[in-house]
A and B are shown apart, each in its own frame.
Chain A
Amino acid sequence: MRLYQIAVREVGRRKARTLYTTSSIALSVALLIAAMMVGFAGQKDLLLTIARYGHSLTIFPATTNETSLQRFGIGVGHYIPEDAIPEIQRTYEAAIRAGWEKRGGMVLDAGAPGGVDNLQPALFTPRLYEETTIGGRKVVVAGVRAQDEYKARFWWEVDAGSLLARDDEVMVGKVFSRVAGFKPGDPMIINGRPFRVCGVLRETDSPDDYMVFGDLKAVQSVFGKPNRVSLVNVRAMCNYCPVGEAELAINTKVVGVRATSQREIAEAQHKIFKNVTRVIFGLIMLCFVVSCMAVFNMVMGSIHARMREAGLLKAVGASRGQLMRLYMYEALVIGLVGGAIGYGIGCGLALTLGPWLIDGAPIEARWLYLPIAIGAATLTSVLATIYPAHHVAGIRAADAFRAL
């Protein structure tokens, strides 16, 4: 019969106490694990968003006040001349190169400067947005340079048919396809000109889902807007690009356009998310303090019974250290059980509530969190037990003897 076996049996004997203590710890652990899982998924989702937008800029006509991704000044007659794009491009590249040179070379990986010569040209993808009516429904038609667009929006995939390849084809967003009932092969009349639907874009959770995409030249021609684009998206082909400097350069040097960094918007969201996560973790730490106090109260509450037991064990030769070890083993058992149960409940909470809290975030149960759960539970249990155990183990043997 070893000390830990005595501890395990003691924990099993005091069922009500064990249940109360364990559930208090398990609840705190469950909150911690659920918050970690949901927080991790949310973080991943935001980082993916940042990666999608990349170190990118969107360039609007300077006369447009609208900067949101949803409207872009559509239908209000603000355009950028297509032949201004090379100037924008030159200004952008020069600013990026100057930015890297100022930093002592291009950064290939975080903290590792590389050569400016490795710089890849950015992708410039102009779009012309025009509003029209198709099949009795209002819809935005986007004219794009298909090949450049595919490179910049590498996450684009088709659910049915194929990607846009010819100037007499159009590709439709998933939501528009569902609502208007268009499928690959269907004819579509835009402003009196016939097109054929080549494919349906897989859902992207962006305004693209509601649009019809055609070749830029064809759309310019159909709507009588030759050499006009509504905006130009710029996707930098480097990590940690000094996009802010390019944004400044375009805004000060190119007349008639206004550049806005997409990354900054996503990073601002990321910062808010991180702050909210910190507050949640702070509250969870408070839960741990409360459960620590609950365990402490529970152990202190049973101190009279423990004094009798301590007296007996001391009388048969147990040292103070051995008694402390016995109580610590009990705390460990409660911590292990509470941690494992808390992990299970936490995973369940995260998988159930996570998708509701963060729409579309990929919530995954991670085994890595199991040792964290058990560690947190054990630490709580042990910390809460130290003082009562010290008190009981240090009881004057004569007092305990009298108690017997």
Chain B
Amino acid sequence: MVELRGLSKRYRIGDQVVDAVVDVNLSIGSGEFVAILGHSGSGKSTLLSMIGGLARPTAGTVVIGGEDIWRRDDRFRALFRNRRIGFVFQFASLIPTLNAVENVALPRRFGEAAAMARAEQDAILLLDRVGLSDRLYCYPSELSGGQQRRVAIARALINRPGLILADEPTGDLDEETEAQVMSLLRESALEFGAAFLLVTHSRDLTRDATQVVRLRGGALQ
């Protein structure tokens, strides 16, 4: 499903050269749950950005479903992200002027026109699945942190992605909500047969992972 070969990212801050990610090689199969552990500044988010088609690597390749995404143009990567990748960010990151259903349906807006027609129905089904059937038309300001996170998860799943990328998805949640969100993410990935890549600094969240890798100074250990 996902093949990372010699993936590196180097950037400059003034005169200083920073190697954020150094020669990462990793394979993730469909339905697999891979956790990347590391401290702040270890390069976790940069690695995730490169896998998600958001940051161009300095060297190496990212092949997802047989497609080397960094050999293609921006337009392709935008469509690829839309159809094949579901993002769950560190914070809920919902659009404040859209209600829960509209937030979940948002990725459909940027995809094919045909998919847009069923966007609202699919969004309602997903919100029902994440336990928010009674909060469908609430705006983000009317939802708790946990509920917002569930809306974000439903949004990541709306296009049935083959790869779910989660960057510290429970960073600001209490323990109980954290467990619910993690379980929801894991179950959803299994249900859709999607590869699930989690970036975290918390060892507790990696309990169910099929593969745990540690990143230090940008390199896998």
Residues in chain A near residue B50, CB distance under 8 A: 398
Asked if residues B55 and A401 are in contact (CB atoms below 8 Å), the reply is yes
In the complex, A362 Cα to B110 Cα: how many Å?
53
Asked if residues A322 and B49 are in contact (CB atoms below 8 Å), the reply is no
Asked if residues B52 and A6 are in contact (CB atoms below 8 Å), the reply is no
Residues 372-404 of chain A, each 1 if its beta carbon lies under 8 Å from chain B, else 0 = 000000000000000000000000111011101
Please tell me which one of the listed residues B49, B52, B89, B110 contacts residue A313 in the complex, with CB atoms under 8 A apart.
Answer: B110
Asked if residues A396 and B109 are in contact (CB atoms below 8 Å), the reply is no
Asked if residues A315 and B87 are in contact (CB atoms below 8 Å), the reply is yes
Asked if residues B53 and A397 are in contact (CB atoms below 8 Å), the reply is yes
The answer to whether B68 has its CB under 8 Å from any CB of chain A is no
Asked if residues A1 and B106 are in contact (CB atoms below 8 Å), the reply is yes
Asked if residues A12 and B53 are in contact (CB atoms below 8 Å), the reply is no
Please tell me which one of the listed residues B56, B89, B109 contacts residue A1 in the complex, with CB atoms under 8 A apart.
Answer: B109
Chain A interface SS verdict (over half)? helix
- Minimal Cβ-Cβ distance residue in B for A308: B93
Residues in chain A near residue B107, CB distance under 8 A: 316-317
Residues in chain A near residue B55, CB distance under 8 A: 396-398, 401
Asked if residues B49 and A398 are in contact (CB atoms below 8 Å), the reply is yes
The answer to whether B54 has its CB under 8 Å from any CB of chain A is yes
Residues 307-319 of chain A, each 1 if its beta carbon lies under 8 Å from chain B, else 0 = 0110011111111
Asked if residues B91 and A320 are in contact (CB atoms below 8 Å), the reply is no
The answer to whether A10 has its CB under 8 Å from any CB of chain B is yes
The answer to whether A102 has its CB under 8 Å from any CB of chain B is no
Given contacts A1-B109, A12-B97, contact A317 B49 (CB under 8 A): no
The answer to whether A13 has its CB under 8 Å from any CB of chain B is yes
In the complex, A65 Cα to B111 Cα: how many Å?
84
* Interface residues in B, total, Cβ within 8 A: 34
Asked if residues B102 and A1 are in contact (CB atoms below 8 Å), the reply is yes
Which B residues, 104 to 135, have Cβ-Cβ distances below 8 Å to chain A? Answer: 105-107, 109-111, 119
Q: In the complex, how many angstroms separate the beta carbon of B46 from the nearest chain A beta carbon?
A: 7
Given contacts A315-B87, A397-B53, contact A2 B109 (CB under 8 A): yes
The answer to whether B142 has its CB under 8 Å from any CB of chain A is no
In the complex, A397 Cα to B52 Cα: how many Å?
10
Asked if residues B110 and A322 are in contact (CB atoms below 8 Å), the reply is yes
Residues in chain A near residue B119, CB distance under 8 A: 1
The answer to whether A9 has its CB under 8 Å from any CB of chain B is yes
Asked if residues A320 and B109 are in contact (CB atoms below 8 Å), the reply is no
Of A2, A12, A396, A398, chain B has the most CB atoms within 10 Å of the CB of: A398
In the complex, A396 Cα to B49 Cα: how many Å?
11
Residues in chain A near residue B89, CB distance under 8 A: 312, 315, 401, 404
Asked if residues B110 and A315 are in contact (CB atoms below 8 Å), the reply is no
- Minimal Cβ-Cβ distance residue in A for B90: A404
The answer to whether B26 has its CB under 8 Å from any CB of chain A is no
Asked if residues B97 and A397 are in contact (CB atoms below 8 Å), the reply is no
Contact count band on A: 20 to 34
The count of A-to-B residue pairs whose CB atoms sit within 8 angstroms is 82
- Minimal Cβ-Cβ distance residue in A for B111: A317
The answer to whether B75 has its CB under 8 Å from any CB of chain A is yes
Please tell me which one of the listed residues A1, A6, A309, A397 contacts residue B54 in the complex, with CB atoms under 8 A apart.
Answer: A397
Please tell me which one of the listed residues B82, B83, B93, B102 contacts residue A312 in the complex, with CB atoms under 8 A apart.
Answer: B93
Residues in chain B near residue A398, CB distance under 8 A: 46, 49-50, 54-56
In the complex, A309 Cα to B107 Cα: how many Å?
13
Residues 80-99 of chain A, each 1 if its beta carbon lies under 8 Å from chain B, else 0 = 00000000000000000000
The answer to whether B138 has its CB under 8 Å from any CB of chain A is no
Residues in chain B near residue A12, CB distance under 8 A: 97
Asked if residues B95 and A3 are in contact (CB atoms below 8 Å), the reply is no
Given contacts A316-B110, A318-B78, contact A401 B98 (CB under 8 A): no
Q: In the complex, how many angstroms separate the beta carbon of A315 from the nearest chain B beta carbon?
A: 5
Given contacts A6-B97, A10-B97, contact A401 B54 (CB under 8 A): yes
Residues 196-232 of chain A, each 1 if its beta carbon lies under 8 Å from chain B, else 0 = 0000000000000000000000000000000000000
Please tell me which one of the listed residues A1, A9, A317 contacts residue B105 in the complex, with CB atoms under 8 A apart.
Answer: A1
Please tell me which one of the listed residues A319, A396, A397 contacts residue B110 in the complex, with CB atoms under 8 A apart.
Answer: A319
The answer to whether B45 has its CB under 8 Å from any CB of chain A is yes
Asked if residues B95 and A317 are in contact (CB atoms below 8 Å), the reply is no
Residues in chain A near residue B110, CB distance under 8 A: 313, 316-319, 322
Q: In the complex, how many angstroms separate the beta carbon of B100 from the nearest chain A beta carbon?
A: 12
Of A3, A10, A316, chain B has the most CB atoms within 10 Å of the CB of: A316
In the complex, A41 Cα to B74 Cα: how many Å?
55
In the complex, A319 Cα to B106 Cα: how many Å?
13
In the complex, A319 Cα to B74 Cα: how many Å?
8
Which B residues, 41 to 75, have Cβ-Cβ distances below 8 Å to chain A? Answer: 45-46, 49-50, 52-56, 74-75
Asked if residues A315 and B98 are in contact (CB atoms below 8 Å), the reply is no
CB<8 Å pairs between A and B, sample of 21? A1-B105, A2-B109, A6-B95, A10-B97, A12-B97, A13-B96, A309-B95, A313-B110, A314-B81, A316-B106, A316-B107, A317-B79, A320-B74, A397-B54, A397-B55, A398-B49, A398-B55, A401-B54, A401-B55, A404-B89, A404-B90
- B residues with CB within 8 A of A: 45-46, 49-50, 52-56, 74-75, 78-79, 81-83, 87, 89-91, 93, 95-98, 102, 105-107, 109-111, 119, 155
Give 10 nearest A-B pairs by CB, closest first.
A317-B82, A398-B55, A9-B97, A397-B54, A316-B107, A317-B110, A319-B78, A398-B49, A318-B110, A315-B87
